[in-house]
Amino acid sequence: MSGQMSAAFHMADVRDKRITRRRAVAVGELVAGPVAYPLIVERRLPKGDALVMAEIAGLQGAKMASALMPLCHPLPLELVRVYCAPAPERLAIRVWCECASEARTGVEMEALAGVNAALLTLYDLSKPVEPALEIGGVRLLFKEGGKSGVWLHPQGMDAEERERFRPRPPRQLQGASCVVITLSDRASRGDYVDESGPVLAEGLRALGGEVVSTEVLADGIEPLAGRLHAFAASGIRICLCTGGTGLGPRDLTPEALQSLGGRSVPGLAQMLRGLSAQHTPLAWLSRAEVVQLGGMLVIALPGSPRAAAQCMSILTPVLGHALAMIDGASHA
């Protein structure tokens, strides 16, 4: 074979992404004008009921997204809903497409494909009575799930859209005091720069937490146990520890947490291992540990920056709710 192999395009490699619940809603509208608009709304177009046909076309369009766009991943859609509503002030029909799935990548292209298919169908059925039609305002309203959590379009949503679709951002930490402790003999000696701690601190700040301290300690039960008792007494709400959760002779972070005499939270530790195993089977070797010490939640995570980022993504939907439960709020 002569020459060098190359590819001009490729699908994004999502194999290392975790399967999460994904949802997206797209919106757009057809400006029909004074002739076509009443015929659409009153369902009197010569070709038939454009509103019903647009819903059907939107469903089909969302499911066909990967066939229409070469680099779009084929996804098993678990929900597709298409809504059409008149906008009389603009003589327009507004269309929304909502898609949901559990997948490694988002469903925003499916939602946009659904909206466009519905709008084109409205156009097709309306053009015999009014060729001067206009499709516009097509955009992603919001998407949720995955690493980025909830993304809202800068133009925002009106009250009716918020009530119908109810995007669910993770409960924020609302200024809760947080600390991050890295456990590493080598990092504590200055042999290398800690990278995992800053990753976790950034994740806590993104959730609205106030990171009041980041520390690097040597591996071992002490001084970690003493620092944790001091932090709990000072009112710290979340302490994320990274490192020392493996099987090595100096990996003693779980033992330090167990020595605190707090309440074990085994379900959260098991969730970290189980969901991390979607990235690597080596996650089952992690001894991640979670303990509640008074009003403080202490979570021991793996030490690699990549694993720390993955675990932060797993924790994001539940940290705020966990603090609310500690404070006696409803479990709902």
Active site residue 194: no
* b/e per residue 83-114 (b: at least 16 CB within 10 A): bbebeeeebbbbbbbbbbbebbbbbbbbbbbb
Residues sharing a CB contact under 8 Å with residue 255, sequence separation 6 or more, in sequence order: 221
Cα 208–317–300 angle (5° rounding)? Answer: 85
Note whether 203 and 317 are within 8 A (CB): no
In degrees to the nearest 10, what's the CA dihedral of 145, 151, 152, 153? -120
Token digits of residue 305: 């920056």
Residues sharing a CB contact under 8 Å with residue 18, sequence separation 6 or more, in sequence order: 104, 275, 278, 279, 310, 313, 314
> Which residue type is seen at 215?
E
Report the SS3 class of residue 220. Answer: coil
Q: Around Cβ 52, how many Cβ atoms within 10 Å?
A: 12
Catalytic residue among 13, 16, 124, 251: 124
Q: Where are the alpha helices (DSSP H) in the chain?
A: 33-41, 50-63, 65-68, 108-126, 159-165, 185-189, 196-206, 224-233, 253-258, 266-276, 305-315, 319-326
- Residues with catalytic function: 124
